[in-house]
Structure 1
Amino acid sequence: MKIVVLADTHMPRMAKKLPERLLAELANTEAIIHAGDWSSMAVYEQLAAFAPTYGVAGNNDGEVLQAKFGTSRLLQFGPWRIGLVHGHGASKRASTESHAIAAFKDTPVHILIYGHSHIPVLKQVDNLIIFNPGSPTDKRRQPLYSFGIIDFEDSEQPIRHVYYADKS
Structure 2
Amino acid sequence: MPTRLLLLADTHLPTRAKALPDEVWRAVDEADVVFHAGDWVDEATLDALEARAARVVGVWGNNDGAGLRARLPEIARVEFEGVRFAMIHETGSRERREQRMEQAFPDTDVLVFGHSHIPWDSTAPGGLRLLNPGSPTDRRRQPVCTMMTAVVDDEALRDVELVPVGRS
> Normalised by the size of structure 2, how large is the TM-score?
0.86
CA gap 1:3/1:156 in 2 versus in 1, 3 angstroms: closer
Does structure 1 conserve the Cα–Cα contact (< 8 Å) formed by 2:61 and 2:89? yes
- CA shift at 1:51, angstroms? 1.9
What SS class does the counterpart of residue 45 from structure 2 fall into? helix
Give the direction of change, closer, same or farther, for the CA distance of 1:46–1:121 in structure 2 (3 Å limit): same
Matched, 1:158 2:159: yes
Partner of 1:24: 26
The 1:149–1:96 alpha-carbon spacing in structure 2 relative to 1, beyond 3 Å, is: farther
Alpha-carbon distance in structure 2 between the residues aligned to 1:65 and 1:34: 12
1:124 aligns with 2:118: no
Aligned AA for 2:161?
A: R
Q: Is the Cα–Cα contact under 8 Å of residues 150 and 157 in structure 2 kept in the other structure?
A: no
1:104-159 deviation digits (Å, cap 9, x = unpaired): 62531110110000000111122111100000000101001100112124989522
Structure 1 residues 117 and 100: CA distance shift in structure 2, 3 A: farther
- Asked if residue 63 in structure 1 is aligned to residue 66 in structure 2, the reply is yes
Distance in 2 of aligned mates of 1:75 and 1:156: 14
Specify which of 14, 35, 38 is matched with residue 36 of structure 1. Answer: 38
Residue ranges of structure 2 left out of the alignment (5+ in a row):
none
Task: Tell me by how many angstroms 1:29 deviates.
Answer: 1.1
Q: Distance in 1 between matches of 2:135 and 2:40?
A: 11
Share of identical aligned residues, percent? 32
Are 2:105 and 1:109 aligned?
no
State how many pairs are aligned: 163
User: How far 1:27 moved relative to its partner?
Assistant: 1.6
Shift of 1:70: 2.1
Q: CA RMSD in A?
A: 2.6
Change (3 A) 1:97 1:64: farther
Matched position secondary structure for 1:64: helix
Q: Which runs of 5+ in 1 are unaligned?
A: none
CA distance in 2, matches of 1:111, 1:87: 15
| TM-score with structure 1 setting the length | 0.86
Contact 2:86 2:111 in 1 (8 A): yes
1:76 maps to: 79
| Runs of 4+ residues over 2 Å off in structure 1 | 94-104, 153-158, 164-167
For 1:77-120, what per-residue CA distance to the aligned partner results, in whole angstroms no more than 9, with x for missing partners?
1201011000166xxxx448839944962531110110000000
Aligned residue for 1:148? 148
State how far apart, in whole Å, the 2-side matches of 1:21 and 1:164 are. 7
